[in-house]
Amino acid sequence: MARIHLHLLSDSTGETLEMIAKAALAQFDEADVQRHFWPMVRSKQHIDRIVPDIAGSPGLVLFTLVNPDTRARLEEHCLTLGLPAVPVLDAVTEALEAHLGQEAHGRPGRQHSMDAAYFARVEAIQYTIAHDDGIGHEDWEEADILLAGVSRSSKTPTSIYLANRGYKVANIPLVVESPPPRALFTLRRPLVVGLTTAPDRLIQIRRNRLLTIADGQESDYVDADRVAAEVRFARRLFADNDWPVIDVTRRSIEETAAAIIRLLGERDAREALPERMGPV
């Protein structure tokens, strides 16, 4: 298979462009792609310095450049070299301009500006780290989401992912011999979500975990009957409290997080409905 060169040019950190390229490449099997990454490209002079490298490894050029002079220079060079140059955000930006009835500002890296949302995200990450693994139940009412599940049901990585999206998340491991604190059953603000998984998958994950521990000896932690009992205990607790449940057996962290965000949105919409309807 011939190697394809993919040149990514951004006038900011390039994080958005990288994610778009990664998502698109995931649609192709065994694509042999050599990526060339060029962030913080904000002048025609910078474009001129990059072009010899592009010419040396000709391929597809993807860019997110909002300055008209800079992007025009890149497009001129690509036209001369006979290379396709794709402005990956143009279609979305144009659609939003038409829908909103206003022109885009064209500010490089604007999505990374340190606005209120940025600081809220930082606060969410700090809260989530401080309330991992059942810690700080006195402050659970401040959370947006609380995840409950047996050990190794992906609570922590899902919490961190959601925190990076701006949600304050606490999580608690469910242990048969150790009842959860009463605070778990009196929460009003957070959405409590139960995470569950197939026992055989859970045993596999736990065995991999044990391999990282010094002695690595198996115990009740991976005993089939014991694990099955843990999962039943958690599912019964979820059902008794009418908490939504997500089976993470075949879900990625991103898919689990997306399902949780959808549940939160649906709950908030239900709670806001009487207010929108007004008094009856």
Q: Residues within the annotated binding site for ADP?
A: 149-156
Q: How far apart are CA 185 and CA 183, in angstroms?
A: 5
Tokens of 268: 């908030």
Binding residues, as ranges, are 149-156
